Amino acid sequence: MFIRRIIILISLFSLVVGLTAGITRAGEFNLLFYINQYHFLIMIGSFLGTLITLERVVTIENKVFHYLPLLNGSSLIFFLLNEPEIANLMLVLGGLILTLIFLYFLFSHNDLVHWLFLLSGIAYTLGMLVFYLDKDLFLSVRLLEMFLLITIIAERLELSKFIGISNFKKYILLLFLILSGFFLKINEIAYGVSIILIALWLMQNDIARINIKKSEPFRFRGIALMFGYFGLLINGLTIVLPKYSTYDLQIHSFFLGFVMNMIFAHISIILPAVLKVKIKENYFLNYTVLITFQIVLILRFLSTILFGSSFPHLALVNAIVLLLFFIVNLFSILSEKIHKSLQGPNV
């Protein structure tokens, strides 16, 4: 349990460093200026790579496996020491470990979902390896986008068993995913169209559509997921209509509009599962943070479209809102643990 807490702290500290590097890159201030060009590696690898690896290994009984996320997490130390090559190498090794973990689960569960998880691990490793060897930013980012997209689709399909989605619909989604992978670098329009189709499929068929009509905590998760799918739709549109888009809008519609909303939806599941503690969610604060995040994101995107750059300080506000969400959830966990300890063992 101790090592899980340490890894969670490393992952969250990576989030703080990654956001700081991103804000510096946006011109807000000059902290950690020497790593702002590696902002995407820290956010995807040091933060999300560590968290996703931990989420997978905690289900394995052998405690040795619980130390494996430290490979991704250790990259942060080397980024801070201004050793980006070593940090990048740690992320490549972390990707290989994650891929082997997915392969391990595939031997036990030989199904579509676990094949997708394996493909996501390969995409992660290739994305980190491409940047390590060639510094090809475009291809590296695209591969890392595929890593997150495939991971999220696999998780959504894993939950689809509760609503009985037909195999035909699943194969349609798989076709859209294959097309996105095929056109990854060879045709921007076709790639963007495939992303749009994936977003529309998720909006129409995912369990989020049902959860919105339920009570909490399902409603909050459903709303956050729908915001995420809308972010993915915007991402596809920015690729199909580059004339009306910018680099900031294209990149952050995916990583903020899509991925971060997925985290909003899942963090109240991930943290309790990893830390083995129940969480009493504060929905007023969660909704306040979630809605504020969407408003700031919309303002950021609109200012980018209309004026070619984001309004001052919107990147900073985005970062503050993200950190606030994690603080709120960690505080809920901490409050629950304190409450249980005060009750005593016999209660």
Asked if residue 167 belongs to a domain, the reply is no
pLDDT of the residue at 336:
63
Q: Is 10 exposed, middle or buried (0-12, 13-18, 19+ CB in 10 A)?
A: buried
Same domain? 149 vs 211: no
Last residue of some domain: 108, 127, 162?
162
Whether the predicted pLDDT of 346 surpasses 70: no
Same domain? 234 vs 158: no
**How many other C-beta atoms lie within 10 A of the C-beta of residue 170?**
16
pLDDT tens per residue across span 92-118: 999 999 999 999 999 988 999 999 999
Asked if residue 324 belongs to a domain, the reply is yes
Last residue of some domain: 128, 162, 196?
162
Same domain? 154 vs 291: no
pLDDT tens per residue across span 133-180: 998 999 999 999 999 999 999 999 988 877 888 999 999 999 999 999
pLDDT of the residue at 181:
94
Whether the predicted pLDDT of 119 surpasses 70: yes
Same domain? 23 vs 103: yes
pLDDT of the residue at 338:
61
Helices (H) and strands (E) in the chain, counts: 15, 0
Read off the DSSP letter of residue 310.
Answer: P
Residue 79: in which H helix or E strand, if any? Answer: helix 70-80
Same domain? 142 vs 13: yes
Asked if residue 36 belongs to a domain, the reply is yes
pLDDT of the residue at 347:
43
How much of the chain exceeds pLDDT 90, in percent? 63
For residue 294, the Cα-to-chain-centroid distance in whole angstroms is: 16
Q: Are 87 and 78 in contact (CB under 8 A)?
A: yes
pLDDT of the residue at 128:
98
**How many other C-beta atoms lie within 10 A of the C-beta of residue 189?**
12
Whether the predicted pLDDT of 337 surpasses 70: no
Tell me the HSE value of 342 on the side-chain side, using a 13 A CA sphere: 6
Same domain? 152 vs 248: no
Confidence of residue 62 (pLDDT cuts 50, 70, 90): confident
Same domain? 38 vs 153: yes
User: What CA–CA distance (Å, rounded) separates 262 from 229?
Assistant: 9
Asked if residue 191 belongs to a domain, the reply is no
Same domain? 223 vs 117: no
Whether the predicted pLDDT of 30 surpasses 80: no
Asked if residue 224 belongs to a domain, the reply is yes
Same domain? 115 vs 10: yes
Same domain? 139 vs 242: no
Weakest mean pLDDT among 78-87, 201-210, 312-321: 312-321
Asked if residue 102 belongs to a domain, the reply is yes
Whether the predicted pLDDT of 329 surpasses 90: no
Same domain? 90 vs 225: no
User: What CA–CA distance (Å, rounded) separates 83 from 135?
Assistant: 15
Domain limits at 221? 207-341
Same domain? 19 vs 145: yes
User: What CA–CA distance (Å, rounded) separates 319 from 32?
Assistant: 15
Asked if residue 20 belongs to a domain, the reply is yes
- Say how many domains are in the chain: 2
Residue identified by tokens 């490979």 is 71
The answer to pTM > 0.85 is yes
User: What CA–CA distance (Å, rounded) separates 303 from 213?
Assistant: 33
Last residue of some domain: 135, 162, 189?
162
Whether the predicted pLDDT of 24 surpasses 70: yes
pLDDT tens per residue across span 210-262: 999 999 889 999 999 999 999 999 999 999 998 888 888 899 999 999 999 99
DSSP line for 251-276: HHIIIIIIIIHHHHHHHHHHHHHHHT
User: What CA–CA distance (Å, rounded) separates 14 from 48?
Assistant: 9
Asked if residue 182 belongs to a domain, the reply is no
